[in-house]
Amino acid sequence: MKKKTKMGVRASSISVSTTEALLVHLTIGLGLALCFSVAHNVHFISLTSHPSQALGLIWAFQCPTVILLYSRYRKDQERCSYWKAVGRGLLGLPAGAVVNALGAIALGAPVGIQYLPKTINWSLMMSLFTIVPAASVFGSSWTDWQRIFACTKPNDPVDYMICLPAHGVVIGAWFGAWPVPLDWERPWQEWPVCVSYGAIAGYLVSLVASFGFILVRQHVKGD
């Protein structure tokens, strides 16, 4: 009940049907899978062997998909054109990368010239999954940002599509960092390989979760 009234207030956002949400989630998920298969079969690299290139491949491949898809769900559609939203997303990519990189360094990511390309590519990828969708959808609306990232109070399906994957990626990356200090001396323990694996796993799980939430919500609304 409470949520319905809130929905009434936020009339400017467009509603997303279940099938549409499914399509978006599938596109993003399959896009990620495609990235891995291209990396593996065409370029013969993996995240473990060439972390920098593989991460670069992922964000470069996923960037158009994510920005183009999410820009469709921009808020206040009458004042903001589609291409403006795309532009905001593109701007959000480096800005978010800086935020992610700083966060990672505060948490203990190694700093050094040999890690620079890896860190840059990793934070671009993280930015693509966390900040970019929100940048495309919300633009400079501070209250929306605050609602999604600080309060974690998603209201409509678009909010879920932004909020859950972003949190999933961060939490996944956080857990992914735990194997780094272990003395197993495996190549995947290097920064940022297992952190990226964690982030991607978290992302995929939260994609499923966000779709599930949307499904449940639609169901409740339908009742």
Partner 1 sequence: MGRGIWVHWVMMLLHVVAIVMFTRGFLLTRTELPNYSKCSDVSESPCFFPVNENQDHNKVRNHTDQNQGRCWSKPAIDRLVIIVFDALRFDFVAPSTFFQESKPWMNKLKLIQELAATNASSARIFKAIADPPTTSLQRLKGLTTGGLPTFIDVGNSFGAPAIVEDNLIHQLAQNGKRVVMMGDDTWTQLFPNHFEKSFPYPSFNVRDLDTVDNGCIDHLLPFLQQEDWDVLIAHFLGVDHAGHIFGVDSGQMIDKLEQYNTVLQNVVEALESQSAPGGLHENTLLLVMGDHGQTVNGDHGGGSAEEVETSMFALSFKNPPSPIPAEFDTSSCGLDLDRRNICISSIQQLDFAVTISALLGIPFPFGSIGRVNPQLYALGAGTWNFEDSAGNCQNQPKLDEWMLNYVNVLCINSWQVKRYIDIYSAASVIGFSREDLLHIENIYAKAEERWSHTTKTLLLQKKESCDALLPALKRQIHEYSDFLASVAELARSKWTEFDLKMMGTGLGIMLISIIIHFLAIKKVKEQNGFSFTSPGDSGISFGLIFACFMVVIRACSFLSNSFILEEGKVACFLLATTGFIKMRSSIMKKKMISEAFAFLLLVTICRFTIQVGLSKQVPSSESVNAFPSWMLMMTSVWNFVADILPVLALILLAVLLHKAINRSSSEGIWKYIMLGTNLSYMLIALYWSSESNILNLSWVLKDVGRNCIPRLVYAIGVGQLFLLAINQLFIKQKSIDGSKNLSTKAVAMFSVWSSTVIILLGKQGPFIALAFITGGYCIMRLDNVELDGKDGGGWNLMLDPVPVTQWSLFAVCLFFCTGHWCAFDGLRYGAAFTGFDEFILLPQAILLTMDTYGFSLILPIFGLPFLVACRGQTEKGTQPILVRLSLVYMIYGLIMATSVTATILCVTIHRRHLMVWGLFAPKFVFDVAGLILTDGLVCLASLYYFSRVEDHVLHDPLK
The set of residues, in sequence order, having a beta carbon less than 8 Å from that of 215 and lying 6+ positions away, is: 18, 21
Question: How many other CB atoms are there within 10 angstroms of residue 14's CB atom?
Answer: 14
Closest distance to partner 1 from the beta carbon of 110 (Å): 9
The pattern of x and - marking residues 56 through 95 that bind partner 1 according to CB under 8 A reads ----------------------------------------
Stretch 144-173 residues interacting with partner 1 (CB under 8 A) = 146, 149-151
Taking CB under 8 A as the criterion, the residue among 1, 11, 106, 113 binding partner 1 is 106
Closest distance to partner 1 from the beta carbon of 190 (Å): 14
Instruction: Tell me the window of 29-37, 46-54, 57-65, 181-189 that interacts with partner 1 (CB under 8 A).
Output: 181-189
Burial of 195 (0-12, 13-18, 19+ CB in 10 A): buried
Q: What would the DSSP string read from start to end of 113-147?
A: GGGHHHHHHHHHHHHHHHHHHHHHHHTT-HHHHII
What is the distance between the alpha carbons of residues 193 and 195, in angstroms, rounded to a whole number? 5
Taking CB under 8 A as the criterion, the residue among 182, 216, 219, 220 binding partner 1 is 182
Count residues binding partner 1 (CB under 8 A): 15
The set of residues, in sequence order, having a beta carbon less than 8 Å from that of 156 and lying 6+ positions away, is: 7, 10, 13, 15, 16
Taking CB under 8 A as the criterion, the residue among 29, 94, 103, 117 binding partner 1 is 103
Q: Which residues bind partner 1 (CB under 8 A)?
A: 103, 105-108, 111, 146, 149-151, 174, 177, 181-183
